[in-house]
A and B are shown apart, each in its own frame.
Chain A
Amino acid sequence: MSIVVFVSNTKGKINKAGLEAICYAADVAKTSGDSVTAVTVGSLEGDGGAGVYGASKLITGVSVNHSDSNQVTNMVSAVILDECASMIVTSHDNDGKQVAPRLAARLNCGIVTGVTGLPDTSSGFTVKKNVFSGKAIAQVSITSDKKILALLPNSHGLHEHGGTAEVSEWSGAAGTASVTVKEVKVVESNVVPLPEAELVVSAGRGMKGPENWGMIEELATELGATTACSRPVSDIGWRPHHEHVGQTGVAIRPNLYIAIGISGAIQHLAGVNGSKKIVVVNTDSEAPFFKAADYGIVGDAFDVVPKLIAAAKAFNASN
C-alpha cells in the first residue's frame, strides 16, 4: 500500500511545504511499511525533489487546472484508488486548504488540518493539531479507514530520505472545468512566502510610519528572512495584508521570529507563539511580548536595528 501526498508546485519545483509533507509521509511509511506516492498538478523538472524527501513515485496531472478543486479532487481520488491508499497527506497551505476538505467529503472520511506531529497509533489513531490559533494543542482521533492529514508548514522539518521518484503522467480524465484562471500575481519571487519562512523579521506600530520600513527590510535581507507585521500596520496600509500575522492573520511557526516595535497583544502572540525562538525589540521593558521572548532588547528600534544590520553584515562576511 502507499501513502498518497498531494503537493503543489511553482515553476517546476515542489514548494517547501509540499516537500515537508512528502518527508512527513515518508517518516510515517517507515514504521507502517508503506511506500509514498506524490501527486501534483502540471509538470515538474525531473521529480521536483520528491524522491530525495522520500517519495518513490510522482504522478503529474498535466491536464488538470490547479485552481479547480473539483478537477484536482478527481485526480487525487483516482490515484488513491489506484494505489489502494488509506492515508493521504497534504500541506495545510493555500492549495492544500482548497483541495483537502473537498477530498474528505468525497471519500466520506476523517480529516485533520494543521497537524503538528506524527500520528500516534498506540490506541486507535490520533494526531496533534494547533487549536485556538496556537494557544493550545488538541489530540484528535480519526475513526474512518481512510484518513487525511494536512500538515502545518514548518512543523515537521525537512530531512533527506534519499532516492529519486519514478515520474509518470496521470492518464485519467480531469472532468469538466468550472474555474478559469484569469491572472496570477506573484508578490515576492526571491523571498520565501511567509507561511513557509524559517526566519521572519516583523515590525509593528512602534516603527512610526511606512517610510521607516527600509531598515526592517534591510535586516530581513541580511538574515535571508521574510518580513511580517502586526495587524494595525496592515490595516492602516503601511504594509500589505499578506504580511499581517496573528490570530486574524497568517499563523506562522518559523525557527526565528524577530518582533520590532510590537507590543505582543494576545491576538498577535496567538499567530506567532509556535516560533522556535522569539526575539523582542521594544522601548517599553513592560511590553507583554517580553514574556514570550527568548531574547529581549529593551531599546529604541531606530537605534537597535541599525546595530543588528551591521552585526548581520559582519556575520555574513565572516561565514
Chain B
Amino acid sequence: MNILVCISKSPDTTSKIAFTDGGTKFDENGVQFIVNPYDEWYALVKALELKEAIGGKVTVISVGDASNDPIIRKSLAVGADEAVRVDAADTDALFVAQQIANYAKEHDYNIILTGKETINYNGGQLGGMIAELVGLPYVAMATKLDLVGDLATIEREIQGGSEVLEINGGFVLSAAKGMAEQRIPNMRGIMAARSKPLNVIPPSGGESHTSVVNYELPPAKAQCKYIDAENAGELIALLHSEAKVI
C-alpha cells in the first residue's frame, strides 16, 4: 500500500506574528519553521503506522521553494521513505491541490492524507480539493483510520459527536487529533533521512483564484478588570450588566 502525505511548512507555534512591507508580508525574521503539526503528528505518523502494519511505501509531498527542504528532511527523519517537492510558490490551496493531484494521478496513489489545516493559513481546503481533482471520496476531520484489505473504516468529528464511515477503495482524508501520536525522530532516523530521495519536480499547470491583500493584528485588549477573590460572585453581575454576555 503506497500512501501520499501532504506536508506544509509553518512557523513554530511560539513565533511572534508580525508583518512587513506595509502589512503585506509575514515577517520571517527570527522565525523557526516546523512541519505543520497536523501534517506531522497525525497524517504522517498514521501513514507510518499503516506501512508498519501492512507494508508499502510512504511518500511525503510539499509544494514550495528550497526553503521547504529542512521540514521535508524532518519528515524523512520521522520515517517517510521518500519525498517530492514541487518547486513552485504555494500561491493558494487550489494551485497546491492541482500540483499534488497531478503527481498522485501520475504515480497511482489512491490513499492521500493531509492535516486538518495549516496553523498559519487555517484553510482546511487542500484535502477536499485533491479528492475532487483525483476523483476519490473525501473525509474531513478524521480521528481514526483502520484498513483491512481495500476496506477503510474512518471515524470523523461531526457537530456534537462523531461518525464511523466505510469506504471501499482509495480515499483522501484530513487528519485531526486522535489519529496518531507524535513521534520524535531518533539519531538513526535523522542520519537515514540524509540519504533518502528528495525529488524536486517542476510545477504542472494550475491556477490561483485567491490572494492575500494584507494582514493585520487583532485590536489590543483593554485593561483587565480585577475582582477580589473574596467577592468572586460579583463577576456574575458584571457579566450581565457591564459585559452583557449573560
Chain A contacts to B: CB under 8 angstroms: 8, 10, 15, 17, 67-70, 73, 92-95, 97-106, 108-114, 126, 129-144, 178-189, 191, 193, 195-196, 198-199, 223, 234, 241-242, 244, 247-249, 251, 255-256, 266-267, 270, 273-274, 276-277, 279-281, 290-300, 303-304, 307-308, 310-312, 314-315, 319
Is the beta-carbon distance between B216 and A137 smaller than 8 angstroms?
yes
Q: Do B217 and A94 touch across chains, with their CB atoms under 8 A apart?
A: no
Query: Given the complex of chains A and B, what is the CA–CA distance between A121 and B134 in angstroms?
Result: 34
- Contact, CB under 8 Å: B177 / A248: yes
Does B70 touch A at the CB level, under 8 Å?
no
Which residues in B have their C-beta under 8 angstroms from that of A141? 210-213
CA–CA, A289 and B232, complex, Å: 18
B interface list, Cβ under 8 A from A? 11, 13-14, 17, 19, 37-38, 92-94, 97, 116, 119-133, 137-141, 143, 153, 156-169, 174, 177-178, 207, 209-218, 221-222, 224-229, 231-240, 243, 245-246
A67 CB contact (under 8 Å) in B130, B165, B232: B165
Question: Quick one: which of B119, B169, B225, B239 contacts A247, CB cutoff 8 A?
Answer: B119
Given known A-B contacts A114-B122, A248-B177, A273-B218, A295 and B165 have beta carbons under 8 A apart: no
Question: Taking CB as reference atom, which chain A residue is nearest B231?
Answer: A307
Residues of chain A contacted by B130 (CB below 8 angstroms):
105
9 A-B pairs closest in CB distance: A299-B229, A101-B128, A311-B233, A110-B209, A105-B132, A98-B140, A193-B160, A101-B125, A144-B209
A99–B222 CA distance with the chains assembled, in angstroms: 39
Q: Are B122 and A298 in contact (CB under 8 A)?
A: no
Q: A139-B214, A277-B245, A299-B229 are in contact. Are A182 and B166 (CB under 8 A)?
A: yes
Question: What are 6 inter-chain pairs, A to B, with CB distance below 8 A?
Answer: A109-B209, A111-B94, A113-B123, A130-B122, A144-B209, A291-B224
Let me know if A291 and B125 touch, CB within 8 A: no
Q: CA separation between A108 and B129, bound complex, in Å?
A: 10
Give the contacting residue for B161; candidates A140, A184, A248, A273; CB below 8 A: A184
The 8 Å CB contact of B221, one of A95, A189, A249, A292, is A292
Contact of A311 among B211, B217, B221, B237 (CB under 8 A): B237
Task: Report the Cα distance A307→B232, complex, angstroms.
Answer: 6
Is the beta-carbon distance between B243 and A113 smaller than 8 angstroms?
Answer: no
Which residues in B have their C-beta under 8 angstroms from that of A255? 245
- The contact of B235 among A132, A274, A279, by CB within 8 Å, is A279
B227 CB contact (under 8 Å) in A144, A186, A295 = A295
A70 near B137 with CB under 8 A, answer: yes
Nearest neighbor of B137 in chain A, beta-carbon distance: A178
Which chain B residues border A189 with CB–CB below 8 Å? 160
B17 touches A183 (CB 8 A): no
A248 contact from B37, B124, B164, B232, Cβ within 8 A:
B37
Given that A133-B122, A182-B165, A279-B235 are contacting pairs, would A98 and B137 also be in contact in the complex, using a CB cutoff of 8 Å?
A: no
Select which of A102, A138, A179, A188 is within 8 A of B212 by beta carbon. A138
Q: How far is the CB of B116 from chain A (nearest CB, A)?
A: 8
Q: Which of A186, A274, A303 contacts B160 (CB 8 A)?
A: A186
CB-CB under 8 A from B236, the residues of chain A are 308, 311-312, 314-315
